[in-house]
């Protein structure tokens, strides 16, 4: 007969399973890598969302900013993290879509190297100009740009080469046949300062980055580069309403995990994310930031990433954008 201690050990092994372990998730803090600087739109959104998720799940989400190389450095870091649900990635559309088109040596495959959890928000870009420019509408801006000397074209800023804001500006220049030179920034504070002072007098950027100078009148929002107006600046028309049929170039953000993360953990995180996005306080905060919650399932996010790669490949082809300009 099997000794009692041995029987007890066998019984414990029989009862233990990965599923039981997964049900206990999370039992320690969860690290979320954000591959952009602190204070950026992505960082602010991340902290709003993960504070709510942490409260709901009874565990802290610790946001870690790892900027560099247009989001590539931090995004790559997740590919070597343990696939246990305790290291996640909150990143933007650029590193997941445009970089695959612009960077043949991209050190990860957005469609293969991650476990999709869900989309989080979309943040429409706005065409913003310094109040020092003598324009008050998109048509006036286009006319002003076309009157510039050939050797002194307007400059426009973005949050980095290959970002949604970069492609938004480049496509607008292509569509309107105006000349604009792209100036990428790493520090949002410097971008805003140079925009206000007309050092780089035009920017395509998410509203949260420029809402304060818009409210004080040092920056003008001429149009929203999306399908709908934004609550934060409801009197500003969309580009389509202004007569320019530019496709939606909103920045969007998503939550992912390392490839191989157990489905049970991915599904739990996805459910909790969708719950957080319906929270009234979170939605109210999104309104002030110009963000729109776009909850999705893991399967929907994976399909969306693939479709966005196809869409942006066409924009890159038309505009001639490269990772260097």
pLDDT tens figures, 281-301? 999 999 888 889 999 999 999
Domain 28-122+250-319 sits in CATH at: 3.40.190.150
The residue assigned the tokens 């989080």 is 120
Report the candidate in 255, 249, 254, 256 with the shortest Cα–Cα distance to residue 312.
Answer: 249
Cis status of the peptide bond prior to 26, with omega within 30 of 0: yes
Question: What is the C-alpha to C-alpha distance for residues 305 and 99, in angstroms, rounded to an integer?
Answer: 12
Predicted confidence (pLDDT) at residue 77 exceeds the cutoff of 90: yes
DSSP string, 181-225: EEEE-S-HHHHHHHHHTTSS-EEEEEHHHHHHHHHHTSEEEEEES
Question: What is the C-alpha to C-alpha distance for residues 233 and 46, in angstroms, rounded to an integer?
Answer: 22
Report the candidate in 173, 117, 125 with the shortest Cα–Cα distance to residue 145.
Answer: 173
Question: What is the C-alpha to C-alpha distance for residues 117 and 30, in angstroms, rounded to an integer?
Answer: 14
Angle at 219 between CA 224 and CA 157, to 5 degrees: 70
Angle at 172 between CA 309 and CA 175, to 5 degrees: 95
Report the candidate in 285, 292, 275 with the shortest Cα–Cα distance to residue 56.
Answer: 275
Domain ranges of the chain: 28-122+250-319, 125-233
Q: Coil, strand, or helix at residue 305?
A: helix
pLDDT, tens digit, 9 for 90 and up, residues 210-256: 989 999 999 999 999 888 888 888 899 999 999 998 878 788 999 99
Question: What is the C-alpha to C-alpha distance for residues 265 and 223, in angstroms, rounded to an integer?
Answer: 41
Give CA separation, 325 vs 127, 148, 155, 166, 276, in Å: 19, 21, 12, 9, 38
Question: What is the C-alpha to C-alpha distance for residues 150 and 129, in angstroms, rounded to an integer?
Answer: 20
More confident residue, 234 or 110: 110
Q: Coil, strand, or helix at residue 107?
A: coil
More confident residue, 69 or 222: 222
Integer distance in angstroms from the first to the last C-alpha of the chain? 77
Domain 125-233 sits in CATH at: 3.40.190.10
pLDDT, tens digit, 9 for 90 and up, residues 252-284: 999 999 999 999 999 999 999 999 999 999 999
Task: Please tell me the predicted confidence (pLDDT) of residue 124.
Answer: 87
The residue assigned the tokens 């409260």 is 55
Task: Please tell me the predicted confidence (pLDDT) of residue 9.
Answer: 47
Question: What is the C-alpha to C-alpha distance for residues 280 and 151, in angstroms, rounded to an integer?
Answer: 51
Q: Tell me whether domains 28-122+250-319 and 125-233 share a fold.
A: yes
For residue 6, what pLDDT band results from cuts at 50, 70 and 90?
Answer: very low
């Amino acid at each position: 007969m099997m000794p009692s201690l041995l029987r007890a050990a066998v019984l414990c092994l029989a009862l233990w399973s990965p599923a039981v372990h997964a049900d206990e998730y999370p039992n320690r803090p969860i690290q979320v890598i954000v591959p952009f600087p602190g204070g950026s739109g992505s960082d602010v959104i991340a902290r709003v969302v993960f504070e709510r998720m942490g409260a709901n799940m009874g565990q802290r989400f610790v946001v870690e900013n790892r900027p560099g190389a247009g989001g590539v450095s931090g995004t790559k870091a997740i590919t070597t993290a343990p696939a246990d649900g305790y290291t996640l990635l909150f990143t933007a559309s650029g590193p997941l879509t445009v970089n695959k088109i612009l960077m043949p040596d991209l050190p990860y495959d957005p469609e293969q190297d991650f476990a999709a959890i869900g989309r989080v928000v979309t943040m429409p870009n706005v065409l913003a100009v310094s109040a020092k420019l003598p324009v008050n509408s998109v048509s006036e801006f286009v006319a002003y740009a076309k009157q510039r000397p050939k050797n002194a074209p307007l400059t426009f800023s973005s949050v980095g080469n290959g970002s949604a804001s970069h492609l938004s500006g480049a496509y607008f220049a292509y569509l309107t046949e105006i000349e604009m030179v792209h100036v990428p920034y790493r520090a949002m504070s410097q971008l805003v300062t140079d925009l206000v002072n007309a050092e780089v007098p035009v920017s395509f950027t998410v509203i949260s980055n420029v809402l304060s100078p818009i409210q004080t009148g040092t920056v003008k929002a001429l149009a929203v580069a999306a399908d709908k107006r934004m609550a934060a600046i409801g009197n500003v028309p969309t580009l389509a309403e202004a007569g320019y049929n530019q496709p939606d170039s909103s920045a969007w953000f998503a939550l992912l995990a390392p490839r191989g993360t157990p489905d049970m953990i991915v599904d739990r995180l996805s459910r909790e994310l969708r719950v957080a996005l319906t929270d009234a306080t979170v939605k109210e905060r999104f309104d002030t930031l110009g963000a729109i919650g776009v909850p999705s399932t893991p399967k929907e996010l994976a399909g969306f990433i693939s479709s966005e790669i196809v869409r942006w490949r066409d924009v890159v082809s038309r505009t001639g954008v490269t990772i260097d300009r």
